[in-house]
Amino acid sequence: MEIVKRQAQRQILLDKSKYLAAIKHLINQPKANSQEQPIDLETMDKIRRARLIVRVLMIIGIALPILLFFLVYGWPFS
């Protein structure tokens, strides 16, 4: 009975070590598209526009609650 348990434990450890070795191999493997490719100007413009929109929305999302608070409760610093 104990021999069977030990064999099962060894098999589990062997499976874990194989799994970890496979993960390490995948992590250390170079990516297929590791070469940088130039981005054309039209795509760069779209990226800039999208980033600008995100920034504006973030600023509005931060400033709007503050402005609404002062609008509802008044300016507390006077």
The domain spans of the chain are 2-26+42-73
The predicted pLDDT at position 34 comes to 63
The predicted pLDDT at position 8 comes to 80
Low-confidence ranges of the chain (pLDDT < 50): none
Backbone φ/ψ region at 10: left (φ over 0), alpha (ψ -120 to 50), beta:
alpha
pTM, full prediction: 0.47
- Phi/psi of residue 77, nearest 5 degrees: -100, 20
Q: Where are the beta strands (DSSP E) in 1-78?
A: none
The predicted pLDDT at position 19 comes to 79
The predicted pLDDT at position 44 comes to 94
Cα–Cα distance, 15 to 1 (Å, whole number): 21
The predicted pLDDT at position 52 comes to 98
Mean pLDDT across the chain, nearest whole number? 84
